[in-house]
Structure 1
């Protein structure tokens, strides 16, 4: 009963993020930003698309699963932290890696405390979202796949900001 509104919300949230990223990309490019990590970006898109599909398929295969309100609360708290992180980056936030020549990393909000708070959020989302409905297979499989992907992603991003 709760699954459909929940998954629709998650999909809408993800699509909204892509819309914001696209808008920010236009601004970043107008500022002369250079894109990095193009080679791995399609894999990130595929990973997150398959993540949503896996949630839906696993839920369909195990439909008697109830909602876990503790994980739902954690998800809601995580959304607040995500909003803080993304709003701290403002127009610099993107799903791709961009750097405006002469600019440095943003050092406000959670970025004062952590080097990669948005990736911490993504790690938590990959675990928490499926766990709202006890979807253990999706949580475990995509946690491993995401760890591999983030290893590549963070390595590229660290090189960009070390220049």
Structure 2
């Protein structure tokens, strides 16, 4: 189980890197008049993501779950692919990416990178990772629990984000072809 613990700790470190990027980007947005929307659901999101990582560590140990290669290796591939998608989103949005819903007035929506194909690709990455990371070491209770709670949270989050971005959708978009 030690390699799995290292994997989960690496994901936790990646989350810390995301928070550092988000903090920097929050200053950038604030300096340009950015406004936060839906702050009330943010603590729930933080708690849910922390619980995911904790569940990934506790469940396999407490329930004495084995590593099942037929499940674990594909789940690891999906978890890594989710990380790649997440960082594609982060780099595409640049200073506009944040863990909160921060909108800078007057900036049109980004429709390049993964946003060319999906309106909310980062949430796809979160959903895939939340299912796959626990399944790397057969933590199926954590996978199912996170997936269900995350689906409920994402209905709130996506509604909030769409409402916050709606006034900007009439503006010319970044990355669109003329």
* TM-score after normalising by structure 2: 0.87
Structure with larger Rg: 2
> Residue 12 of structure 1 aligns with which residue?
13
> Residue 37 of structure 1 aligns with which residue?
38
Runs (4 or more) in structure 1 with deviation over 6 Å come to none
> Residue 23 of structure 1 aligns with which residue?
24
> Residue 112 of structure 1 aligns with which residue?
116
1:86 aligns with 2:129: no
* TM-score after normalising by structure 1: 0.95
Deviations 1:99-152 (A, max 9, x none): 111112111101011110011111111101101111100000110000000000
CA distance in 2, matches of 1:37, 1:101: 16
Moved more, 141-150 or 64-73: 64-73
> Unpaired runs of 5+ in structure 2?
168-178
> Unpaired runs of 5+ in structure 1?
none
Report deviation, 1:87: 0.6
Deviations 1:16-67 (A, max 9, x none): 1111111111111011101111111111111111111111110221345116
1:130 aligns with 2:131: no
Moved more, 146-155 or 67-76: 67-76
How well do the aligned residues superpose, as a CA RMSD in angstroms? Answer: 1.2
**Number of paired residues?**
163
Q: Match of 1:72, SS?
A: helix
> Residue 175 of structure 2 aligns with which residue?
none
1:162 pairs with 137, 146, 166, which one?
A: 166
Report deviation, 1:88: 0.4
1:146 aligns with 2:147: no
